[in-house]
Structure 1
């Protein structure tokens, strides 16, 4: 090994363990002291002069603002009986990133949730990149507590409300339903969503880094519960109407049906039953047809139940005396290449006989004698072709053609209930004009504080006379005899209508109807019954719908404590 020699001097090599030179040592030491001073200064600044910054950073990691669920308002019948109530439930959710992979814990969790371990693993895997997933929605508090007692990390509870309908399928279409988030989706629940839902509140809480509640700090805004809603429905009458309708639909193997009962004095809807129906508390296997409130959203040609209303226009015209006689022989007539028929040849009939026998020929001949569109004008004043303004979602207005360039056959068809469409609720509202001395009442789904004034529509004397004539249509020797109610005077009209489709009227497919008022001496209820496509030999309104009217109306009058009225001598 050679050693470099310069100027005869051999340099000494510095040992690696030798101490640092004074200048460099002082420089490093100065930098360290400066850093410590800066750090200390920052600490003093944050803790003394700028404490709000640290406080804000800490709060951002621990303070939370949470929503307080507002209790949805109750829906009751006119007597305060609950029809829709909200019950407390618990929704379980998880942070997939915190749920342990331990197989025993996951197995116990899956069993408590009522699912297989494979399904739980698959869901956790699907949401692995997120911090939130639902485990089970709307469990009872007891069922949710069994899961929470397992103390599985990453599993949390959220308190909510679930809608419950004590009457089940009986009033399902009128009330409608809410979704899993307690928002109205159909019926009254949807129509009055903003009123029933209320306003959620806010609270401030402290949570740990795992999202677990440590302490409630303050209520920032109280939750405002939704308003309670009182319907005009009488739950007793609703149960009874639904029971009789369901039995009739089953007896005649029909596609469905409707019963609407209105208070003849106020226009309040006391009962509104539909078939088919569904259980809103258990919607598994739900038939979509059952969701429709057919009484309001569906329309049909009403047929002969319109004849008393058309007769009102004929009698008001002043063109015919009360003892006028119309020859309906030979029981059929041709108009504009169309043939109009009666069931048989009734011969000569007066005005009362035309209604009693439900003669299409008699009605057609009377209407064709009129120069002015008096019948469609009266129909329009009675509310046909217009909204009933109940506010119900999807409410139908029906169809009433404008009398422009009508043919003679169209004029005739209108007099016996063809060529227009209406809902069962519109029919009930129109019949209140006959029950109230010519004053029509608009239907109300909500209970009213006081009776409305009504709309004068038919001459009072004509309305009273028609009521008397219609009472004859429910006598023992008439087609409407099955609508009679023991102890009470009843006025009504049967109807049997061929169903139409896009291709025209269907063969041997009918709707059976009865519209009636009781008791005649002091009308209290107006009832409309429609049975859709009854099968078998019995399809006439007097054989299918009239018995339902009798049972429903008779039970209603007794439940309402209406005294029996005196028979006409």
Structure 2
């Protein structure tokens, strides 16, 4: 019996010595290195450090998209000490059955009051400071700036320039000891996040704000579905303002549809520059040649094309000034499908504008083999062809600057304008400008006139096609006006489009609704420092 006890004691002693030696080897010698590393990995945590996103600044260096610190509060148990403070902020603490559960109580508390510091004393609450995207102009410019969702950019420049703005993520390492304490892990490299780059854009948000208020007022007064305004510098292709209404609040992570580039529509009479430019370029007609418009209508393959008022025999110059559909359709038939197709392409219709913004709509021109006489006649007066607002602004910019089509520019830099092609010789551009000036002086665009300023422009009025009825709805109108000034060296081009305004038919034309809005915007620009310096 005694020897058994001695044997057990010797065995336990030897076992203890072996365990001690093994523990020593595992903890302090190279033999235990793989096990030590495995243990560290099991408790090691990697934390991604999100970078600060670059700011978006307008051309006057006003921040239009920035990042601000906000506080997130997480509950890990039933908070007792801070219950009253939480209730003050409208936060209702929850009761837990599982004490290990945690969830986000509130995601955005600005640092505005000292009581928040009391929350830190409650161990059942966890706080984290994060950066949240903030848009100080709110709805204004939201269609072009875009917004940020939970973990990605949504639309606008936030999306298309995400690679520039987002920066580079960092990484940090830590582990928890047996008591749950968080400890740094110095053996692994800490990599700090790299802030994104700032972006300076061509837009002027003082102008954007002013136009937004005017557009909002017009849309509401006319009970329209919406509208947009584009302002460019036709000498460079820079977009100075791009305003949509209605819009969403980007601070609520709701993207706004940019109707100016995403929604195609039939432009109506503003498109008549296509047949007239081709005809003047190729010597088919001259401005003073006459055209018979008769009683104000013609029938082409059983389809009637009408003028607002009978004009009889008039010159082609007056046909533009008073916006004769009959004259434009007759000219289109004289030119033929191939000429109209080529001229529309030269103006950039049927192709992307080269904009950096995502989601631009463009509709390919119909194959020449599919053109009928009735389609040719309609095409010449702006029907049967879908465009977006940016395409039309760039097309008229080519007339304004002497014949060159530029790509639209949204990023402000010192690079040269992005040349696409020469659309027409300078002398043809001058001819078009002379006629478009008369449109404003004595034609359908008289309400855009400003005394002492030479303005060139064109009205547009088109009906909306109703596919369910298979015809155009005369109650649904798209009213537009596009113009530029000063005539000799235009620095501003303004395009106004109002979708489906309500009222008596004679009040819905482009010259009645869109032209006055153009004039108000032009007057604002003329009073500005930029115009005075020209």
Residue 211 (structure 2) aligned to one of 215, 235, 241: 241
Of 70, 82, 90, the match for 1:114: 90
d(CA) in 2 for partners of 1:43 and 1:555? 83
- Report the secondary structure of 2:126's partner residue: strand
Query: 1:16-31 maps to which residues of 2 (within 5 A)?
Result: 21-31=1-11
The aligned counterpart of 2:289 is: 324
**Aligned partners of 2:493 and 2:219: how far apart in 1?**
21
SS at 1:387 equivalent: coil
Change (3 A) 1:45 1:187: same
Structure 2 residue aligned with 1:403, among 368, 381, 397? 368
Match of 2:130 among 152, 155, 160: 160
Mapped partners of 1:241, 1:464: distance in 2:
29
Q: Deviations over 1:153-180 (max 9, x none)?
A: 3432333210111111111111111013
Q: For structure 2, which runs of at least 5 residues remain unmatched after alignment? A: none
2:192 aligned to which of 198, 222, 235: 222
Aligned in 2, Cα 1:45/1:463: closer, same or farther, shift over 3 Å?
A: same
Tell me the TM-score normalized by structure 2.
0.92
Q: Helix, strand or coil for the counterpart of 2:440?
A: coil
Higher CA-based Rg: 1
* Secondary structure in structure 2 of the residue aligned to 1:510: strand
Larger deviation, residues 147-156 vs 372-381: 147-156
Instruction: Map Cα deviations across residues 206-238 of structure 1 (whole Å, 9 max, x no partner).
Output: 555565545585762121111111111111221
The question of 1:370 aligning with 2:335 is answered yes
Does structure 2 retain, via aligned residues, the 8 Å contact 1:299–1:396? yes
Corresponding residue SS for 1:281: helix
For the 8 Å contact 2:275–2:335, the answer to whether it is kept is no
What does 1:180-259 align with in structure 2 at a 5 Å threshold? Answer: 180-181=150-151, 183-205=152-174, 207=176, 213=182, 217=186, 220-259=190-229
Q: 1:275 aligns with which of 245, 255, 265?
A: 245
Aligned to 1:320, the other structure's residue is in SS state coil
Aligned to 2:388: 423
Question: In 2 relative to 1, CA 431–554 (structure 1 residues): closer, same or farther, beyond 3 Å?
Answer: same
Report the counterpart of residue 454 of structure 2 in structure 1: 489
- Alpha-carbon distance between aligned partners in 1 of 2:304 and 2:382, rounded to the nearest angstrom: 16
- Partner residue of 2:443 out of 449, 456, 478: 478
The TM-score, its normalising length taken from structure 1, stands at 0.86
For 1:421, what is the secondary structure of its paired residue? coil
Q: Is 1:499 aligned with 2:480?
A: no
1:75 aligns with 2:56: yes
Q: Which of the numbers 522, 531, 551 marks the counterpart of 2:498?
A: 531
Counterpart position of 1:9: none
Alpha-carbon contact 1:90-1:137 (below 8 Å) kept: yes
Q: Are 2:143 and 1:173 aligned? A: yes
Counterpart of 1:463 (choices 419, 429, 439) is 429
Counterpart position of 1:40: 20
Q: State the match for 2:527 in structure 1.
A: 558
CA distance in 2, matches of 1:467, 1:67: 58
1:86 corresponding residue in structure 2: 67
Worse-matched range after superposition: 518-527 or 317-326 = 317-326
Partner of 1:5: none
The residue aligned with 1:512 is: 479
RMSD in angstroms over aligned alpha carbons?
2.6
Distance in structure 2 (CA, Å) of the matches to 1:510 and 1:210: 72
> What is the CA-CA distance between 1:348 and the residue it aligns to?
1.1
Partner of 1:10: none
Corresponding residue for residue 235 of structure 2:
265
Corresponding residue of 1:549? 518
Cα distance, 1:468 vs. partner? 0.3
Task: Give runs of aligned pairs for residues 138-153 of structure 1, distance below 5 A.
Answer: 138-141=108-111, 146=116, 149-153=119-123
Shift of 1:242: 1.3
Structure 1 residues 557 and 310 mapped into 2: Cα distance closer, same or farther (>3 Å)?
farther
Give the Å deviation of 1:536. Answer: 1.1
Query: How much does 1:192 deviate?
Result: 1.7
